[in-house]
Chains A and B, each alone.
Chain A
Amino acid sequence: MVRSQPLDPALDPALDPAQRQASLQGTIAPFAGFGLGLRREHHNDFLAPAAAIPVDFVEVISENFMVEGGRSLRVLEAVRERLPVIVHGVSMSIGSAAGLDRTYLGALKALVDRIEPLWVSDHLCWTRTSAHNSHDLLPLPLTAEALDVVCDNIDRAQETLGRAMLFENPSSYLTFPEDEMAEWEFLGEMVRRTGCFLLLDVNNIFVSSQNHGFDPSDYLAGLPLSEVRQIHLAGHEPATGERPIIIDTHDRPVIDAVWALYRKAMAMIEQPVATMIERDENIPPLPELLAELERARAGMHSANAPQPA
């Protein structure tokens, strides 16, 4: 496949990742902290005049705020005055062979310019063809061809936004007969070629490892962990007798096995990262999520505690 001609030296694949990241506008410095997704159910909690919610940042779903007006934008701007905001998308469709949607990129750029987020992220997946949109994060074959498509699209997205992005490892429910590499190898090559960073979803590693039978330790060991800037933690729906597939639902607390994997990841990652709990369904009162976030704090501290020789 012929790669498009890079329009910016920062997008030159001949450069190594450090050179490319350094030359991209808005290279992402590590940020240490613990946060939550800002969901409609908690808007009033975050807007309360004396609110002192113990989070270091919030993450929002980009598409919910890529609108022309209305209350949600004002809520976001008010929260942004108090806290750093991360913009996390679900519809960029970075793996789409049909390319990126120009109007989508324009609307995202407008939101980014308005909010000035800590960073912008999306998923390693595809959601659209030239005709239709799935509104679900669909898996990519792990092939050189798909990698070329992803890298071309990331180049265009980063160039449009004028900043490096983070991409999240997906959870998936099938693998492809034509796969040519492991997912961690795909992600590592993607980072090397585009200068993007990683959003490491620990629950997604667990879900996919159970569904596809790989060792999560191999996954972590195979990633360029120095490029991780954020961690996602979430709950999932376990497999059943009739359905031996775990589903990434974000509708319940994080399970112990995922906490253990989180501690393992945190022990391997040397730079500061931002950790957050994702909850998108069955959203509980804010104190319940804050208690879960406290567990993440404790997990990070125990992972980084000095170990006996």
Chain B
Amino acid sequence: MSAANPLAERQQAFMRAIQEEGAPLPAGWGNSQAAGLRIYRGNYRHALMGVLAHGFERTAAYVGAEAFHQVSINHAIAHPPSHWTIDSAANGFAETCAGFFRENPEVAELAWLEGAMLDLVGAPDCEPLDAARFAEASAGFGDAEWMELTLTMMPRAAALIVGHDLERLWRSIDGGGEIDLAPARLGCIAWREGDRPTFVMVEEQCALAFAAMGQGASYGDLVVQIAGEGADEAALGEAAMRAGSFLGQWLQHALVSAIGREASPGNGDGQEPND
């Protein structure tokens, strides 16, 4: 035990003893401390398992209680919480599921979706931009303005490319009947609609475009991304139509909160939401 900060070292030893069944008892501890430690270890596990059981109800229902218990223990051991928010104990659970259920990648996809929806519960409140307000804000746009258009998506909205139709899987789990596991390469977008976390299945390219614009890509970047490098005029025109279709879907689902302009020498600092 170093003299520098013995309490810190004792607390680290205590924490290790809670987290790891086989960890040595802190120095000087006997049977009475060991008996008390078992209570604290049980409380720690109960708290973490409770977060996972509460936040991943459909994943649990899909894989069954025993398998979920095992993957939860794996997760608690591999990802001991490091943040004061207990919900952060769920961070990385989809990755844990991916490793645990290697033959069933849909489990990790379902866990990702439930994790994203858990994260959305406390996201900042935000009014979405509806189609009418978007039309009004973009009424005077010329080609240049359209190409420099940027979007602010609803807070903490998230997208993932998946290999199954999670909406059908979700509904069949909720319905309690036969599981509907339809392989399909799709995009899944999760966001909060009012107070309610929700999600929608979209084309893969739509989800990729959503993620790109959520990270600051401009509408012009999106068109080029869809058309591919070196695309001719016709391909760019077609890509612009696709991008417009995606934008329409995002507005319809109330996924966009504001519009802005990409930073460029000609338009000031950029990223100035105008709604």
Stretch at the interface among A7-15, A124-132, A160-168, A192-200: A124-132
Residue A230 lies at the interface, judged by CB distance under 8 Å to chain B: no
Chain A contacts for B12, CB-based, 8 A: 129, 131
Which of chain A's residues have a CB closer than 8 A to the CB of B85?
Answer: 63, 66, 91
User: Does A169 sit at the interface, judged by CB under 8 A?
Assistant: no
Q: Which residue of B lies closest to A143 (CB)?
A: B7
- Residue B11 contacts which of A126, A136, A175 (CB distance < 8 angstroms)? A126
CB interface residues, B 42-96, toward A, < 8 Å: 43-44, 47-48, 80-86, 89
Q: Which residues of B contact A177 (CB under 8 A)?
A: 28-30, 33
- Give A90-113 interface residues, CB cut-off 8 Å to B: 91, 93, 96-98, 101, 104
Contact status of A69 and B86, CB under 8 A, knowing A138-B40, A173-B36: no
Q: Which residues of B contact A131 (CB under 8 A)?
A: 12, 15, 82
Min CB distance, B120 to chain A, in Å?
Answer: 8
A269 CB-CB contact with B under 8 Å: no
**One of B121-129, B208-216, B250-258, B265-273 at the interface:** B121-129
Per the bound structure, the CA–CA distance linking A126 and B195 in Å amounts to: 34
Cα distance A74–B18 when bound, in Å? 36
B125 engages A174 (CB within 8 Å): no
A98-B8, A173-B36, A177-B29 given; A132·B80 CB < 8 A? yes
Does B185 interact with chain A (Cβ within 8 Å)? Answer: no
User: Complex: how many Å from CA A93 to CA B81?
Assistant: 14
- Pairwise interchain contact A134-B195, C-beta atoms closer than 8 A: no
- With A91-B84, A133-B82 as contacts: A247 and B7 at CB distance below 8 Å: no
The verdict on A292 contacting chain B, using a C-beta distance below 8 Å, is no
The residue on B at minimum CB distance from A137 is B43
- The listed residue (B35, B86, B126) touching A174 by CB distance below 8 A is B35
Check B37 against A68 for contact (C-beta < 8 Å): no
A93 to B39, CA, bound (A): 19
Q: Are A133 and B7 in contact (CB-based, < 8 A)?
A: no
A93 to B43, CA, bound (A): 17
The answer on a CB contact under 8 Å between B122 and A136 is no
Cβ–Cβ contact B195 & A70, under 8 A:
yes
Does the CB pair A135–B44 fall under 8 Å? yes
Q: Which residue of A lies closest to B9 (CB)?
A: A97
Q: Which residues of B contact A174 (CB under 8 A)?
A: 32-33, 35-37, 40
Given A128-B84, A136-B47, A97 and B11 contact (CB-CB distance below 8 Å): yes
Give B202-232 as 1s and 0s: 1 = Cβ < 8 Å from A's Cβ atoms.
Answer: 0000000000000000000000000000000
The range of chain A's interface size is 35 or more
Alpha-carbon distance A138/B125, docked complex (angstroms): 35
| Residue-wise interface mask of A (45-78) relative to B, using a CB-CB cutoff of 8 A (1 in contact, 0 not) | 0000000000000000001001111111010000
Return chain B residues, CB-CB under 8 Å to A244: 35
Residues of B within 8 A of A149 (CB): 7
Q: Given A69-B122, A71-B195, A138-B40, A63 and B84 touching (CB < 8 A)? A: yes
Q: Min CB distance, B128 to chain A, in Å?
A: 13
**B5 near A178 (CB under 8 angstroms)?**
no
B152 at the interface (CB under 8 A from A): no
Partner of A245, one of B8, B30, B36: B36
Q: Confirm or deny: B6 has a beta carbon within 8 angstroms of a beta carbon on chain A.
A: yes
Q: Is B155 an interface residue (CB 8 A)?
A: yes
Q: Across the two chains, which residue of chain B brings its CB closest to A71?
A: B195
CB of A72, distance to nearest CB on chain B (Å)? 7
Whether the Cβ atoms of B44 and A134 lie closer than 8 Å is yes
Which of B39, B48, B84, B89 is within 8 Å of A173, CB to CB?
B39
B198 contact set on A, CB distance < 8 A: none
**A-binding residues in B (CB < 8 A):** 5-8, 10-12, 14-15, 18-19, 28-30, 32-33, 35-37, 39-40, 43-44, 47-48, 80-86, 89, 121-126, 155, 192, 195
Which residues of A are interface residues toward B (Cβ below 8 A)? 63, 66-72, 74, 91, 93, 96-98, 101, 104, 126-136, 138, 141, 143, 145-146, 149, 172-178, 211, 243-245, 247
22 example contacts (A-B, Cβ-Cβ < 8 A) are as follows A67-B122, A70-B122, A74-B195, A91-B85, A97-B10, A98-B11, A126-B11, A127-B84, A131-B15, A133-B84, A135-B47, A135-B48, A135-B86, A136-B40, A136-B43, A138-B11, A138-B40, A172-B36, A173-B35, A173-B37, A174-B35, A245-B36
